[in-house]
Amino acid sequence: MITTRFAPSPTGFLHLGSARTALLNYLYAKHTEGKFILRIEDTDAKRSDKSLSAKIIEALKWIGLEWDEEYYQSERIDIYKKYAYQLLENGFAYRCFCNPDEIEKKTKNNIIWKYDKNCLKLSQDKIDKLLKDNTNFVIRFNVVNDGNKITFYDNVRGEVSFDKEQVDDFVLLKADNYPTYHLAVCCDDHLMGVTDILRGEDHLTNTPKQILIYNAFNWEPPRFYHLPLIHGSDGKKLSKRHGSVDTLFYKRMGILSETLVNYLTLLGYSPQENKELFDMSELIEKFDIKRIRKSYSRFDLKKLVSINSEKIRNLKNERIYDMLSEYEEFNRLTQGFNKEYILKGIELIKTRMPTLRDFFDRAKYMFIEPESYDEKGLKKYFKENTKDLLLQLKIELEKLDDFKETNIENSLRSLCSRLNIKDAELIHPLRIVLTGYTVSPGIFEVIAHLGKKVVVERIENARIRLSI
């Protein structure tokens, strides 16, 4: 059985790159009917706190991920300690009593610094004495430089080798008995039965150390997939400079979670079919681990928004309604209007909504009279006779018993032909008066939707407001 995991260190938000990592691990597990684990790597006591993990979990849930098991490394401290001591007893690791401040001083000015293995040379008597004196120590892995390389197979890059010479005697267990990332990650991946690790390529240089740990325990390492990082538009690693990298920012911006899932997945893996829109169930069904991208992909906000626009237009009105209801602005705007009216409004606007947020602006006139009219539009479409035309239209519309689209259209068109003017001469100013804008959904639908009372009122008010 395939078991994958997503193992974030809680930093306060879910980075887009990490969201993609989580997704690919999830899709692989689901595709193979395997297991997907969430493991919060919160052993860095200084930085980790439960509220930071909560934000990550909120974002993972928003993108629709579900996990079979959930762990917090901070609750497993004793396990790592036990394994660190096992390596110590078996001669793969040793106690290092060096003062951390001095080590830091030594490392400060060196780009590459390796611990000089001083404590490996301590006699047992000396060690016993230091222990008796309660001297603080860490447990380091003893990287024996036998001239061989550390080689492993990465399923994205192929065979990767590192000289042992380059690998420091890294710390496994800190003086406070907390494990380092390397120890905890190996113990957990082994104990949790993780078979496949998909993670950012920034972890590639960590892997040789982890391979040494696996070998020391005689554990079989999992399969590794180091994913090429996502880049920004300038070809550099995606970071704050390119815009927000917080996954939940995109929720606030009005991007659908299914859009983000769709887009991020395609940044990490190229499906066989030549199409762009997938939903989660298709992504799971079609996922093919062999098609993980081997080169960098670029995050393109415009592309994300265009996928979002497509997705919104294909959604059921009810779903859009539910999603919009999560926004304070929506509830304020639509307060007092019945659901049927709001749903019809969604129907009219959903083909013009790149993001959910666009509803607030583009559909505002459905709920409140426009505060202002498009300036350019006024100049362009308001002529001397406009006042008169609007007045006559108002009279015609008031006569309609059944205020439905076809009747409205017939009434306007026959008025225009009687007056011997083009329909557009009336439609353009009318649109501005009703919506404030020069573009809107079909004007007859808009009129029918607003209803006779509102339409008549707005025409009257416009005549006063514009003194026409």
The torsion region of residue 436 among left (phi > 0), alpha (psi -120 to 50) and beta comes to left
In the complex with ligand GLU, the residue whose CB is nearer, 225 or 373, is 225
What phi and psi values does residue 98 have, to the nearest 5 degrees?
Answer: -60, 145
Separation between Cα atoms, residue 343 and residue 334, nearest integer Å: 11
- Taking residues 186 to 205 in sequence order and writing x for each that binds ligand GLU by CB under 6 A, - otherwise, the string is -------------x---x--
The least distance separating ligand GLU from the CB of residue 14, rounded to whole angstroms, comes to 10
* Range 37-66, binding ligand GLU (CB under 6 A): 41
- Of residues 56, 119, 139, 185, which one binds ligand GLU by CB under 6 A? 185
In the complex with ligand GLU, the residue whose CB is nearer, 188 or 358, is 188
Strands (E), 97-242: 138-141, 149-154, 158-163, 171-173, 196-200, 223-227, 230-231
Query: What is the dihedral sign for C-alpha 127, 130, 133, 134?
Result: negative
The least distance separating ligand GLU from the CB of residue 352, rounded to whole angstroms, comes to 39
The least distance separating ligand GLU from the CB of residue 16, rounded to whole angstroms, comes to 14
- What is the separation, in whole angstroms, between the first and last Cα of the chain? 76
The least distance separating ligand GLU from the CB of residue 74, rounded to whole angstroms, comes to 13
In the complex with ligand GLU, the residue whose CB is nearer, 21 or 435, is 21
In the complex with ligand GLU, the residue whose CB is nearer, 41 or 246, is 41
Separation between Cα atoms, residue 165 and residue 316, nearest integer Å: 60
Query: What is the dihedral sign for C-alpha 155, 159, 160, 161?
Result: positive
163 close to 149: Cβ distance less than 8 angstroms = yes
Per-position DSSP letters for 411-459, written without gaps between them? HHHHHHHHHT--HHHHHHHHHHHHHSSS--S-HHHHHHHH-HHHHHHHH
The least distance separating ligand GLU from the CB of residue 9, rounded to whole angstroms, comes to 4
Tell me how far apart the 2 most distant CA atoms of the chain are, in Å. 112
How far from chain centre, in Å, is Cα 463? Answer: 48
The least distance separating ligand GLU from the CB of residue 203, rounded to whole angstroms, comes to 5
The least distance separating ligand GLU from the CB of residue 202, rounded to whole angstroms, comes to 8
- Range in contact with ligand GLU (rule: CB under 6 A) among 7-15, 44-52, 133-141, 368-376: 7-15
Question: How many CA atoms lie less than 13 Å away from 68 in the CB half-sphere?
Answer: 16
In the complex with ligand GLU, the residue whose CB is nearer, 205 or 215, is 205
Active site residue 240: yes
In the complex with ligand GLU, the residue whose CB is nearer, 226 or 350, is 226
* Range 8-27, binding ligand GLU (CB under 6 A): 8-9
Q: Which two tokens stand for residue 328?
A: 């304070």
In the complex with ligand GLU, the residue whose CB is nearer, 79 or 103, is 79
The least distance separating ligand GLU from the CB of residue 10, rounded to whole angstroms, comes to 9
The least distance separating ligand GLU from the CB of residue 48, rounded to whole angstroms, comes to 11
DSSP code of residue 467: T
DSSP code of residue 350: G
> Going by C-beta distance under 8 Å and a sequence separation of 6 or more, which residues neighbour residue 173?
80, 81, 84, 138, 139, 179, 180, 183
Question: Any contact of residue 438 with ligand GLU (CB under 6 A)?
Answer: no
Active-site pick, 50, 126, 236, 240: 240
- Range in contact with ligand GLU (rule: CB under 6 A) among 5-13, 30-38, 264-272, 337-345: 5-13
Separation between Cα atoms, residue 156 and residue 421, nearest integer Å: 68
- Of residues 7, 138, 238, 264, which one binds ligand GLU by CB under 6 A? 7
Nearest to 152 by CA among 227, 226, 229: 226
> Going by C-beta distance under 8 Å and a sequence separation of 6 or more, which residues neighbour residue 391?
459, 463
- Contacts with ligand GLU by CB under 6 A lie at 7-9, 41, 185, 199, 203
* Residues labelled catalytic: 240
